[in-house]
Amino acid sequence: MGKDLCEVFPGANDIFDRAEQATSLPLRKPCFEGPEEELSRTDIAQPAIFTVSAAMLAVMEDLLSPEQFKAISPTHTAGLSLGEYTALAAAGAVGFEDGLRLVQERGRLMQQAATRQPGAMAALLGLDETAVRAICAETGAELCNLNAPGQIVIGGGSGAIETALALALGRGARRGVMLKVSGAFHTSHMAPATESMARAVANAAFRDPQAPVEGREGRRALLVGEAQPRGGDHILGRAVAQAPRLVEEGQLRVHVAPAPGQRPQSSSEGG
């Protein structure tokens, strides 16, 4: 991933240069060449995805004039899990290198926790939260991501996930897919990573964002101060072991920018 961008756009190459210098990781190799097994490790995947996301933003700057780029600058940013860090960086609340080092530490801690307590994740489509919670209670699986109504990710021990997957399909799930991940993220398996991530966030250099960053708690704007620890408890640190809720019924409306001559539209996830 990202190889096609770097072959054409200097800005993308510059982002990869800065990323490799900041992390001391040869990120081009796993991103451009694989193997998939290496890129699936969360300690590699997280800095790699963050870097490619920044490279895509740099490509937009390469393609557009300063006036055009300013015209499409976001009025708000938001992200799920790793995407929360990307959202903070895109809003200017944290510099690229500082954000990347946070993400690298996050990936390292989560991979360490996953190695200590192996697990798996699966996506369930077509069941509501109540039904999935009941299945988790019966099997020992845990909710990981509440992505959208009817799209929920579960995680836990491999045996628990396999049992939960079979049970879900038997109870009407349209589909169940085992995810290619290296651990049971956003579950209690990640609890050992929380305290160390708290210290990393506390030492990071945050600043006022150029656009509001929508927080996971109460769908309100996340202020810079809220990313800092409060008695050892904080939003970004807790996220590694909690199930994030991306969208609820009727809560998320996405504005789709029209092409010239077309009328603006908006889409509502889940009604």
Q: Which residues contact 232 (CB under 8 A, 6 or more apart)?
A: 195, 198
Check residue 205 and give left, alpha or beta (phi > 0: left; psi -120 to 50: alpha). Answer: beta
What are the respective helix, strand and coil percentages of the chain, to the nearest 5? 50, 15, 35
Strand pairing report for 151-156 and 175-178: unpaired
Considering 53, 182, 186, 189, which one is annotated as catalytic?
A: 186
Helix, strand or coil, per DSSP, at residue 188? helix
- Please say if 255 is a catalytic residue: no
Place of tokens 């870097």: 51
Residue 206, beta-bridge partner list: 94
- Residue 186 among the catalytic residues: yes
Q: How many CB atoms lie within 10 A of CB 69?
A: 14
With residue 201 as reference, give the H or E element that holds it: helix 191-202
Distances (CA, A) of 186 to 1, 21, 99, 139, 144: 25, 29, 20, 17, 5
Crossing angle for the helix pair 42-63 and 10-23, to the nearest 10 degrees: 150
Exactly one of 81, 182, 189, 234 is catalytic; which is it? 81
Catalytic annotation, residues: 81, 186
